[in-house]
Structure 1
Amino acid sequence: INFDEGMINETESQGEYGPYLQSQRREIYETYAKYLVAEGLAYPCFCTEEDLENQRKHQEKIKARLGYYGKYAVCRKIPIEKAAEKIKAGDSYILRLKSLGDFDKKIKINDLIKGEIEFPENDLDIVLIKNDGLPTYHFAHAVDDHLMRTTHVIRGDEWISSLPIHLQLFQALNFKFPKYAHFSPLMKIDENGTRRKLSKRKDPEAAVSYYHEKGIPKEAVKLYVMTVANSNFEMWLEQNPTKGISDFVFDFKKVSPSGSLFDFEKLLNISKNYISHLSKEEVYQELLTYTKEFDIEFFNILLKYPEYAQNIFNIEREQKKPRKDYVMYSTIKNEVWYMFDEYFSGNLNYIFDKVNDKKEISEILKTYLEKYYVFDHDETTWFEKIKELAISLGYADTKEYKLNPTQYKGSVADIAAVIRVALTTTNQTPNLYQIMKLLGEERVKERLEKFIK
């Protein structure tokens, strides 16, 4: 996001409605505060913290509504002349709104997300200016948003109960009331199965830096946020696959009024889908950027073999349904490490599946190298040779094995799995033929012979 208004740093700002530091807007707030005093809508309050605490205890004792209002707003009864004398004498004071509201009357305010909400009128004489001369949030909100031509106020729904106060302030100042949209907090299911608010203190995923460190593309995060923000976004995206977020028309009516549930698995699904549609060059460049910051060893390897690395990322990419192995940039290394000799060394942990007898495995690999492996074969011929190898060693093609499983050692899939694991250590890889073509004839033979020995 490129901000075009506000503070650039501690001393500089940009925009047409400055100054943007609250301390530099003191005279502006004072001007509007004086206007309210002159209109009989604000007054100085000299109550101490002790006075207010005693009043609160009294209200609790008699089970009265808490707050500074009505008969409890004792300083609103002080004549303005006497108040002026106390200020000249150096008495500490704050400035309060002289509310004209009636708590027993109801008002209706339309929220763009929550709809029409009914509240009691505000009758609290809220603080406008604190004793340090700076405004409270309520007063600054009214003055700043009016002067800065704010049309829509979008904030968390913890502020929704303040709407009667803000309506009253805007009316008292003769300002146009802006439109409000109150978002419910993003929720999550914790380890106890309890639904709670996503917490900046408890939950690392509440910080933007978390996704950066994980290597989740920022575009994927944006897409996920849009699915949370507007319930119709996913359908729109499916119907408009060539369009981007900027083409989508956001609708407050499609925002969940009760708060959406944070779904990390859904985010990862969006992330891997997004990465799967990048070009090999884009994956390479994004991974370079990520590894330069978080994995300098892998970064240097990628830098050493740019074309080779891009070809690895291109396996099963340029097709109607591209493979989706890469969930985020931090996991790509775990998916492709075996393609680099720098990592394919030492004591490797080979994870064989159905065929796991070392003697049988060695026999399969030896026979394959001696009789059936030809580097220049196309993929169809290559697989036919794998089937011939399987049949020669007592295995069957897939169809025949399903019909008569007890008559064979296994199927051609088991033979392919042995070759795959011997070359990569794992049975979970993309297209084996493409892997072997990229490794090259010499390295294929070297890896298979190494295992045989």
Structure 2
Amino acid sequence: MLPTEILDRLIPSSVTPVAEWEQRFPPRAMPAGAEVTRFAPSPTGFVHVGGILVALIAQSVAVSSDGVFILRVEDTDQSRYVEGAVEQLNRSLEYFGITPDERVGSGAYGPYAQSERAAIYDSFVRALLEQDSAYPCFCTSDELAALTGRQQAAKVPSGYWGSWATCRHLSDQDVAARLDAGAPFVIRFRAPYDGGTVRRVRFTDRVRGDIEMDDNRNDVVVRKTMGLPTYHLAHAVDDHLMRVTTVVRADEWLSSVPLHLQLFAALGFEAPAYGHIAPIVITDGKSKRKLSKRKDPQANVDWYAESGYPVEGILCYLQGLANARLQDQPWQQVLREPLRLEECSNSGQLLDLAKLASICREVIADLPVDQSADRLLAWARTYDPELAVQIGEDRQTLLRVLSIEATQPGRPRKDLATWGDFREKYGFLIPAAFTLVTDPADERFQPLEADLVKQMAATVAAGYKHDLDGQEWFEQVRAAALALGFAASVGEYKREPERFRGPLKEAANVVRVLLTGSTRSPDLYEASRVLGADEVLRRLTSLA
């Protein structure tokens, strides 16, 4: 062990004793079986939807056991800190209804931002130094790069270990001399064996079951030059002092478990249980890969809010990814069910946007029309302000629009998967949002010639009657088409194409495009009821 005078130069003896931190953050008084979990993102960019999946699982494990769910911000890597990331994190958690019991500004086991816990970490780093489980390292980045090159040439594993860990073997005099010279240093964990054959370590993962892998041999950095800890030390100290019982995290950390178990043992802590969650993957050509922050916009949770997916649908879909037993249940039931770590898949879960859309259509269709209107307007105010003005001027029209062709009284139809779909699918029913079709040669009228398009529009408009029942309303369109020489049916047209100017459906398409702006739309008669006689005529005469 290093002499006291050297220890004091590395970490001053004035740090708070470890025992005092243990007294300040005692074991929690909780019912038997209660679990303490945490979601601990780093503010190094936007929140990944896979992180939300992890948070949902961690929260459910705590809630279903009458435990505690913590939000901890792991911001010790200041070089990668992204401005606004914490704000986006809080916004995302609120959007998804994830409500930690303890977080920054609320809770007895804080601070909950690691950048505010430096004094706590120093106490435990000092304890590691005092028991010779850590040592100072003065290697420069160039020296470490050269070390890696020599290891590659020698065909041995890269890393700072065994005889390759040069500072591990410095004498007290060498350490003192380098400190006297003002050499910058980090503190490294002393792995519990010095070279030799790598041992195997066994542990049980609550998602993956019994696992065996190589033990850690590397002397990893636990305290950086600027005085902040690395993730490895900070998470061990924090999970212990916050009395976390189960760590739910992404499977990218699975390979670090041997190191983390060594750290818990060296610090004298009881290790928590681990559950490593498989990543969300997408299809890329003929293969699959992890959903990427750099490549895939749908990795960003903001993408779902901006697109207007109803949050219940996203939650239902994510919970189905977590526990397959939930995938075929009604969405209302899924949201009432707890998530179980032991039922999580240990292989990547495929992001299926078509499945997500299907669930979201059910969610929107199950909402009362009044509620759908409120939520559509709330979404539009943030993400489509122009639409918000257009639909906010006449609530009764908006309610009629959402009710068109409804499968149940008081419920919207099932073709909205997102609030963002409204403009494309129903915007034509809002006069202020509709762009008149003024070109008879528009490709939407094909295969009809422009002159024939104008004739059909003018004929329907000339004799247009609005206050008719559905059959009578369509009959006036049919009569106009027959008067212009269109066949009454496709079959009739195919039998004698030379007699007709086209089938009836091509003539009716002129009316559909003029009224809706599309070749596909909801029922034209119901649409005309929402539009009203004046608006229908305005659109029918837009080619004149």
Would you say same fold, with TM above 0.5? yes
Q: State whether residues 201 and 215 of structure 2, in contact with CA within 8 Å, keep that contact through their aligned partners in structure 1.
A: yes
Larger radius of gyration: 1
**Deviation for aligned residue 1:388:** 7.1
Out of 145, 151, 156, the residue aligned to residue 239 of structure 2 is 145
- Asked whether 1:437 is paired with 2:526, we answer no
> Would you say 1:173 and 2:258 are equivalent positions?
no
- Secondary structure of the corresponding residue to residue 351 of structure 1: helix
Cα 1:188–1:378 change in 2 (3 A) is same
Aligned residues: 441
Pairing 1:1-400 to 2, within 5 Å after superposition: 5-6=71-72, 13-47=105-139, 49=141, 52-77=144-169, 92-101=184-193, 103-190=197-284, 193-237=286-330, 241-245=331-335, 247-319=336-408, 323-342=413-432, 343-345=434-436, 347=438, 349=442, 351-352=444-445, 358-359=451-452, 362=455, 366=459, 370=463, 374-379=465-470, 382=473
The C-alpha deviation readout for 1:302-325, integer Å capped at 9, x for no partner, is: 122221122011101243996433
- In structure 1, C-alpha distance between the alignment counterparts of 2:182 and 2:536, rounded to whole Å: 89
Alpha-carbon deviations, 1:44-101, whole Å to 9, x = none? 4455556545544443333333333334445445567986787688665443333335
Alpha-carbon contact 1:103-1:121 (below 8 Å) kept? no
The Cα shift of 1:345 comes to 3.5
SS at match of 2:444: coil
Contact 2:367 2:412 in 1 (8 A): no
Q: Which amino acid in 1 is paired with 2:240?
A: H
For residue 212 of structure 2, give the secondary structure of its aligned residue in structure 1: strand
Distance in structure 1 (CA, Å) of the matches to 2:305 and 2:182: 53
Letter in 2 for 1:289: A
Task: Give 1:449 shift.
Answer: 5.0
The DSSP-based 3-state class of the residue aligned with 2:349 is coil
User: What is the deviation of 1:288?
Assistant: 1.9
In structure 2, how many angstroms separate the alpha carbons of the residues matched to 1:338 and 1:58? 69
Give SS of 1:236's match: coil
Q: CA RMSD in A?
A: 3.8
Cα distance change of structure 1 residues 99 and 439 upon mapping to structure 2, 3 Å threshold: closer
Q: Tell me the TM-score normalised to structure 2 length.
A: 0.69
Distance 1:21 1:450, change over 3 A: closer
Q: Structure 2: how far apart are the matches of 1:269 and 1:298?
A: 24
Residue 390 of structure 1 and its aligned partner are, at CA, apart by 7.1
Query: Equivalents in 2 of 1:297, 1:112: separation in Å?
Result: 49
Given that 2:445 and 2:453 are in contact with CA atoms closer than 8 Å, whether structure 1 keeps it comes out as no
Q: Displacement, 1:437?
A: 1.5
| Equivalent in 463, 472, 495 of residue 406 of structure 1 | 495
Q: 1:325 to 1:296 in 2, by over 3 A?
A: same
Aligned equivalents of 1:229, 1:108: Cα separation in 2:
25
Name the CA shift for 1:118/1:103 in 2 (closer, same or farther; >3 Å). Answer: farther
Matches of 1:340 and 1:37, distance apart in 2: 71
Q: Distance in 2 between matches of 1:412 and 1:421?
A: 14
1:166 CA drift (Å) = 0.8
- SS, match of residue 232 in structure 1: helix
Partner in structure 1 of residue 99 of structure 2: none
2:151 maps to a residue whose letter is: Q
Q: In the superposition, relative to structure 1, how do residues 49 and 414 fare at CA in structure 2: closer, same or farther (>3 Å)?
A: closer
Contact 2:279 2:290 in 1 (8 A): yes
Q: Identity over the aligned pairs, expressed in percent?
A: 33
Letter of the structure 2 residue corresponding to residue 70 of structure 1: G
Matches of 2:350 and 2:72 in 1, distance apart? 32
Q: Using the alignment, how far apart are the partners of 2:140 and 2:445 within structure 1? A: 77
